[in-house]
Chain A
Amino acid sequence: MQDTWDDFEAFYEETRSPVFRAVLTASGAQRHDAEEAVAEAYARAYLGWDKLQTHPSPAAWVVRTAFNHRISMWRRSRREVRATRDTPVTDAESLDGGLTELIARLPRGQREVLALRILLDLSTEQTAAALHVSEGTVKTQLHRALAALRRQLSVHEPRKEPA
């Protein structure tokens, strides 16, 4: 039992922040809701750790479970959470939360691929295995997500006319 706990603790320490970033950015949840969803998902991961260790990507499983839990929380509260953050983004090149808000408007399939492929840095193969889809679907979803973000960003920001 102690070995199981030690294994889980190592997994938790290694993955918790990347998983949280993936859920916070790609689920459209507020920070508090994302924390709740991620904590719940890790607790369920611990309960099923014996089986989960053989999963192609346990971290991807936690992200998906957190996504599901967030939808469940939304249903309980009967409101949709807005994709805004309580914590200001400090990166100089950030888009002041605008990008996160646009990501939140993508279909769930695209957001999941974005979360696993980009934010969790899984390979196409690992992402496909975690989502039970083909590698082609992962590539298509990612392409569509990025293309949609490009389109939405160009709509949100007026194009400058050349002088």
Chain B
Amino acid sequence: MNHDEIDPGVIRREAAGEEFDVPVGDIRKRARRIRTRRRAAALLAPLALAAVAASGYATMRADEVSPNSVVCHAEPRTIGDQVVVTSNGANPIEVCAGMWRDGDVNPSVTEAPDLLACTDEAGVVRVIPDDGDASCSKLGMQDLPRGYDESARRYIAMRTELVRRFKAAGTPGTTPADEACLTRDDAFTVVRTTLDREGFEAWRITAHDGGPCWNFLSFDDLGKTIGIHSSDPGMEKLPYSTS
């Protein structure tokens, strides 16, 4: 056979002869089982919601959900293979769809399935594949709150601006241009003014003393706290970290 001449007929011949022998009665029985499962799920859903309410897991607001990262799950459950992605402010489903397409969630699958964005009781965004039966409530989670995308965009904008201003405030002539080396008071002032200007007035600042050079930040988005950290100037350091 000349493979340069592959045509649709070759593919049809490859599949030829395969028959599907399942009797139609079995399909009907299977349909009844699916219907029973769906009815049971519908009956149990209010109980699950009641349990959630009883446990104090009230409906979350957008600003109570972590905008810092998104967890992309390979299966419609909260355990198993998962990829944690630092958020860039994009919609979580778009973020995870990109990870699926790149084969980062499952190397054998490079097409994004239908996806569902939920938030767990800790406020972590979890994106699960939707096989048609999946729902956030079945997995003990909530739907992503309305307004999350806007809230996440504001947070990412604040984070980016804070890092930019922190670096720009580094002592000129004494440190490399891409590093900050601030006094404690200067570091505090830069962070406070940026938070206030970006609309994050309620956020707190904590100082972690480790040396004379205040040169990196940490972001606790769920605790609504920015950490300012100091170290010896010669130590290897990260520009900022998230937690």
Residue pair B31, A47 in contact (C-beta under 8 Å) = yes
Secondary structure of the A side of the interface?
helix
The answer to the question of A118 belonging to the interface, with a C-beta cut-off of 8 Å to chain B, is yes
A74 to B109, CA, bound (A): 10
The answer to the question of B16 belonging to the interface, with a C-beta cut-off of 8 Å to chain A, is yes
Chain B 68-115 residues near chain A, CB threshold 8 A: 74-76, 80-81, 106, 108-111, 113-114
The answer to the question of A52 belonging to the interface, with a C-beta cut-off of 8 Å to chain B, is no
Interface size on B, residues (CB 8 A): 42
Residue pair B10, A99 in contact (C-beta under 8 Å) = yes
Residue pair A118, B3 in contact (C-beta under 8 Å) = no
The answer to the question of A130 belonging to the interface, with a C-beta cut-off of 8 Å to chain B, is no
Residue pair A153, B20 in contact (C-beta under 8 Å) = no
The answer to the question of A71 belonging to the interface, with a C-beta cut-off of 8 Å to chain B, is yes
A95 to B35, CA, bound (A): 42
B15 proximity list for chain A (CB < 8 A): 21-22, 24-25, 119
Q: Which residue of B lies closest to A5 (CB)?
A: B28
The answer to the question of B1 belonging to the interface, with a C-beta cut-off of 8 Å to chain A, is yes
The answer to the question of A128 belonging to the interface, with a C-beta cut-off of 8 Å to chain B, is no
- Which of A9, A38, A99, A108 makes the CB contact (< 8 A) with B109? A108
- Which of A43, A91, A146 makes the CB contact (< 8 A) with B14? A91
Residue pair A68, B132 in contact (C-beta under 8 Å) = yes
Residue pair A47, B13 in contact (C-beta under 8 Å) = no
What string of 1s and 0s marks CB contacts (under 8 Å) between A90-134 and chain B?
110111000110010001110000100111000000000000000
- Which of B4, B27, B110 makes the CB contact (< 8 A) with A42? B27
Residue pair B11, A13 in contact (C-beta under 8 Å) = no
Contact flag A114-B81 (CB < 8 Å), given A40-B30, A107-B110: no
The answer to the question of A16 belonging to the interface, with a C-beta cut-off of 8 Å to chain B, is yes
A75 proximity list for chain B (CB < 8 A): 74-76, 80, 129, 131
What string of 1s and 0s marks CB contacts (under 8 Å) between A126-162 and chain B?
0000000000000000000010011001100100000
- Which of B28, B81, B114, B132 makes the CB contact (< 8 A) with A46? B28
Residue pair B108, A80 in contact (C-beta under 8 Å) = yes
The answer to the question of A53 belonging to the interface, with a C-beta cut-off of 8 Å to chain B, is no
A95 to B3, CA, bound (A): 10
User: With contacts A46-B27, A47-B34 known, what are 15 further pairs, Cβ within 8 A?
Assistant: A12-B24, A21-B16, A25-B14, A43-B30, A43-B33, A43-B34, A46-B28, A69-B132, A72-B132, A75-B74, A87-B18, A91-B13, A94-B13, A108-B109, A146-B6
Q: What are 8 A-B contacts with C-beta separation under 8 Å?
A: A21-B18, A25-B11, A43-B33, A68-B113, A91-B13, A94-B13, A99-B10, A118-B11
